Structure 1
Amino acid sequence: MIPLPASNAPPPRLVDDLCRSGLVEAGARFQTLYGGRTNQVWKVLGGDGDKVLKLYRSGLRNPLFRNDARLEALCLTELAPTGFAPRLRAAGQDSDGHWVFYDHAPGAPWQTGAAQVAQLLRRLHSMEIRIDAPDGCNGSDDLRDHTRRILGLCKTQVRQRLEQLCPQTHVAATPDTCLIHGDPVAGNILVSDMSLTLIDWQCPALGDPCEDIALFLSPAMQRLYRGAPLTPEEEEAFLTSYDQPQILARFNALRPWYAWRMAAYCLWRIENGADDYAAGLELEIASL
């Protein structure tokens, strides 16, 4: 996440509670972080090292990316020793909403080096950790049903255009599910020296690893968070470094389904006021 000038401090009641519990020093400075598009996030400066405070918003229900504070706290607790995620310090709920408080992960949002991201995701997908997370979409039938639910929330004529682009192939569900991040976009991957850290664990699942691959490679998500889709060379570097032929063959078979779902999601975001998804919508349609 990118730090912005201090503004919009956290709710005073929440700050007071954090101070009383010894998590935050009196007079601590809060710096707004930009990166996530749903929740309010601040970098807490000082003390025994910088921390992050995330306050969850519970307004618009997102049909693709879950926003679950309990799941994020659980993932941070289980994964911090592995280096995949920051260390959780505390989590709670008050009248302002759910919140988590964790160590600040150094680094800047990912921009280059697709091979490193592939290696990170491959290591995550090979871990034996089983977290009490919901099942993810698995196979083309799930993706078809999920996309139709998203399109059912859309009202403009573009919806009919997308309905006509529904892929016709069938890919069975895989029994080889694992913990997936659920939102490994460029903005949620922090790069520091030679290490990468995944943040924003509010929508993990036990699912198909192809889901994470599709979200990272998505031209719409790359355009949104990095400014441009991956080049063919960057994409090839990612796929080569992921180096799991069976999973990649499955991903290639499912790729039109992921693109169709992402196009539907972009349309839903546009209809709900996020005009910056317009370019992504056209990119996903073009990929179909």
Structure 2
Amino acid sequence: MATSDSPEELVMPPSDLPSPPSDLVRQLQDQGLIGSSARFETLYGGRTNQVWKVLGGDGDKVLKLYQTSLRNPLFRNDAELEARCLKALEASGFVPRLRATGQHQNDHWVFYDHAPGSPWRENPEPVAELLRKLHSHPVLDVAPDGCNGSADLTAHGQKILDGCASETRRRLIELRPAHTVPATTRTCLIHGDPVAGNILVAESGVTLIDWQCPAVGDPCEDIALFLSPAMQRLYRGTPLTAKEVDRFLSAYKHPEIIARFEVLRPWFAWRMAAYCLWRVENGATDYAEGLRLEMETL
């Protein structure tokens, strides 16, 4: 799993990655969550957490064991927040059902129903409708405050750049947008990481997974993360076309929020470029193309 920017639905042969720790398996058995015949398939696509599909019992489940050693400056990795959101949004129909959560040594785990479908690849309209539904949901007191307005994005982007050391850091400081966008008073629960790999599409509907970095904040944040050229390149293989972006924005059907997003778009691109640079400098070379794409938009 990624710190949070990661899909869970790609399966590797069980021999390629380890099974859950034996004492964690016993813990799940003792709690009656799995039987002695349960089988595990490793789900991959992420960069930090360990995730398994659990086969057997009353339907397939997902076991996620959090790894908290890497401190990610953009995407929080909080098992407690994920559990809170899954529980609070259970009736919404667009999140998996939480079954249990607990602790294994120094790390936490969550256990929930496996959602059907494949990571999103095409047709942006259902994603726009999903995010609009989430952003229209009554605000839940389950998450911290997110970035709101250009002042917050300035501080956040600069904090990320403070952890960088290459010459590109200076260039990004020069490219920082100059216009001011005030904070909005119309905050809502946002997912915080609605990248293509965290959106599962099935005939039964669309499911939003990986709820470890939610916030109460500006809905433009979720819109920017989904549309981000870097995130689309990383998880779908290619950025959205201009036509696909327009289709998404039209399907979101909230002109006031979309107008605000358009004004904030350079700020989100600047912060994402800073994040991509941080990832590259910390060994994730696959973020280099994302850095280039975000800098192009600036």
What is the rounded CA distance, in whole Å, between the counterparts of 2:246 and 2:48 in structure 1? 31
SS of residue in 2 equivalent to 1:25: coil
SS of residue in 1 equivalent to 2:89: helix
Residue in 1 that maps onto 2:208 = 198
The farther-off stretch of 156-165 and 207-216 is: 156-165
What is the rounded CA distance, in whole Å, between the counterparts of 2:84 and 2:290 in structure 1? 32
Aligned residue pairs, count: 288
Q: Structure 1 residue 243: deviation in Å?
A: 1.2
> Structure 1 residue 188 and structure 2 residue 198: aligned?
yes
Residue in 2 that maps onto 1:159 = 169
Asked if 1 retains the 8 angstrom alpha-carbon contact of 2:196 and 2:226, the reply is yes
> Structure 1 residue 26 and structure 2 residue 36: aligned?
yes
Amino acid at match of 1:3: V
> Structure 1 residue 141 and structure 2 residue 151: aligned?
yes
Counterpart of 1:118 (choices 116, 128, 131) is: 128
Q: Structure 1 residue 259: deviation in Å?
A: 0.2
**Structure 2 gap segments, 5+ residues each:** 1-8
The farther-off stretch of 17-26 and 200-209 is: 17-26
Residue in 1 that maps onto 2:51 = 41
Amino acid at match of 1:120: L
What is the rounded CA distance, in whole Å, between the counterparts of 1:38 and 1:254 in structure 2? 30
Asked if 2 retains the 8 angstrom alpha-carbon contact of 1:125 and 1:179, the reply is yes
Residue in 2 that maps onto 1:226 = 236
SS of residue in 1 equivalent to 2:147: coil
1:125-184 superposed Cα distances (whole Å, 9 cap, x missing partner): 011141321000000000000000000001111111111100001000000000000000
Could you list the runs of 4 or more consecutive aligned residues of structure 1 that deviate by over 2 angstroms after TM superposition? 35-38
Counterpart of 1:51 (choices 55, 58, 61) is: 61
TM-score, normalising length: structure 2: 0.95
What is the rounded CA distance, in whole Å, between the counterparts of 1:243 and 1:37 in structure 2? 34
SS of residue in 2 equivalent to 1:47: coil
Q: Structure 1 residue 113: deviation in Å?
A: 1.1
TM-score, normalising length: structure 1: 0.98
SS of residue in 2 equivalent to 1:98: strand
1:20-72 superposed Cα distances (whole Å, 9 cap, x missing partner): 11101113111010133221100000111000000000111000000000000
Asked if 2 retains the 8 angstrom alpha-carbon contact of 1:151 and 1:268, the reply is yes
Aligned-pair Cα RMSD in Å: 0.9
Residue in 2 that maps onto 1:107 = 117
SS of residue in 1 equivalent to 2:182: coil
Residue in 1 that maps onto 2:81 = 71
Asked if 1 retains the 8 angstrom alpha-carbon contact of 2:85 and 2:142, the reply is no
Cα 1:131–1:84 change in 2 (3 A) is: farther
